[in-house]
Structure 1
Amino acid sequence: MFELATKKKILNETELFVLDMDGTFYLDNDILDGALDFLESVKNAGKDFIFFTNNSSTSPALYIEKLKRMNCHINRDKIMTSGDVMIRFLDTNYKGKSVYLLGTPALQESFEEAGINLFKPEVSEKEGFVPCDTANIPDIVVVGFDKTLTYEKLTNACTYIRKGALFLATHLDINCPMKGGFIPDCGAMCAAMTLSTGKEPKYVGKPFKETVDMVASFTGVAKEKITFVGDRLYTDVATGVKNGAKGVLVLTGEATLRDIETSDVKPDAVFEGIKEMGEILITLS
């Protein structure tokens, strides 16, 4: 489907590779064959890379530790999450506004460290579930991949949205792949809230413009010289092809060649995996 010349052209034109993680660089806890060699080939070619994951349930520090166990050693400036994009979006557009966060303790800590004004409902002394105080609502509700979601959090968030709070979410992934299947992700949680409130959230992670803007601003690389690499057409690839960058699909995760035929998102190139990318890149150095 994609000739070698096309693959070489994409690799040549790229100055910064934005790498998805699970399904692209590793699978669960196992690094993919050729992944570390690819990073070495990027360095030798005078190019750069950064990891980006839509998963906002885990802090960058924990990802760094996970990669370290795979013998991939990076600093904080080499990894970005949809949570980081949301923090930047809030700081740029809604600085100082109160935010009710549906997120894990790791995401909450990131928000606090960034100085986001987190809203905390009044705690009732009554036993059992008590609806939130509707006279006191936050400016914004932010939904992340909250693995600590409770019915009380869900109810509070829906109540605030109905009362006029802005509805934002870190990313639109419906399911998160796990060994043996999937678990509900941020998009699934938002879908339930939309059914309850009639309101749709604004998403900022992949595949949206805010992600490309942040990567370009953070790294100083022009959008047209940035290539998003991943195993999903509707997030990883779409981020690049829909926002002035490039999108490359690897076949080591979710998407298959057949999926391309039925998708409205067409990658700029397709590789068997990150290993093939590295092998071709070496020949260009």
Structure 2
Amino acid sequence: MTTVIASRPRRPGNRRPAWEEKATPVGQVLKGLVLLALVLAVLFPLWAVVVTSLASRQTIDAAGGMVVVPREFDPSAYFTIFNGGQISRAVWISTLVTAGGTAVSLVLTVLAAYGLSRPGSVAHRPLLFLFLLTFLIYPGLVPSYLVVTSLGLKDSLWSLILPTAISAFNLVVVRAFFMNVPSELLDSARIDGAGEWYILTRIVLPLSKAVVAVVGLFYAVGYWNAYFNSVLYIDTSDKWPIQRVLQTYILAGQSPSVTGAPVNIPGVTAYPPTLAVKMAVVVVTVVPAVIVYPFVQRHFTKGVITGAVKG
């Protein structure tokens, strides 16, 4: 019996798929224009915010609002918000919550992911099922509020950290990375007498810098940008993070409350315009993420694709 293997039908003219074709000069120009338009769409609002935050009262009055073309340089808005008052305090609280929350989340996520990545761990499947169940079922706002208040976390900075301490998505990503660590390497360490803590800290974590850096960035950005938990759980305005202050000033239309001493620097306005102060607060909320991202960018691609479905 002769087996006939059907040959793959050839494309007319032996042409390659469209995504493998070399771009024509017109296509390259169009791609460049589209990319340029996207970049401008992102950078133009940021440019307007930064320029407005550094504009003088006369420039803002002449522009009738947001300033696009800089004329006079006046950093009084930044001196004002960091000269004391609610904004300076909010920046400090957001920094504290971000640093502490990221540390707590990374420790809990790494420990849970390592335990769930070991097939022989206690209650491996039930615990993994409970974590994955949070993808499908969310307890709701009222139960979460009742749990936080019953634990005595109301009006405490811990209410901004503990309710979101572990992300199920980040846990699955870190667990998938840990499962890709060669089991022969771990077995050889156990033969030499190494315990699980030694294996985690000296072998697994050094090999997992990429995913830990990316997950840490996700947690840090999440804590820095979060404001809804502060709306629910923080009653004292002195404990508001910067995002809550930004939400109050920008969306609610309230004027910034700056209680520090007047700025007394040559060439700097003592009382800057309200719009400049608002835009300065926006810049302050964005700058930390922009500063941190370049340090983890080289790990970003490797960390994000970890755990992806492979075909």
**Which of these two proteins has the greater Rg computed from alpha carbons?**
2
Query: Quick check: which one's helix share is greater?
Result: 2
> Which has the higher relative contact order, 1 or 2, with Cα contacts under 8 A spaced 6 or more apart?
2
Q: Is the pair's TM-score, using the shorter chain for normalization, greater than 0.5?
A: no
TM-score class, shorter: under 0.3
- Which of the two has greater strand per residue? 1
**TM-score with structure 1 length normalisation?**
0.24
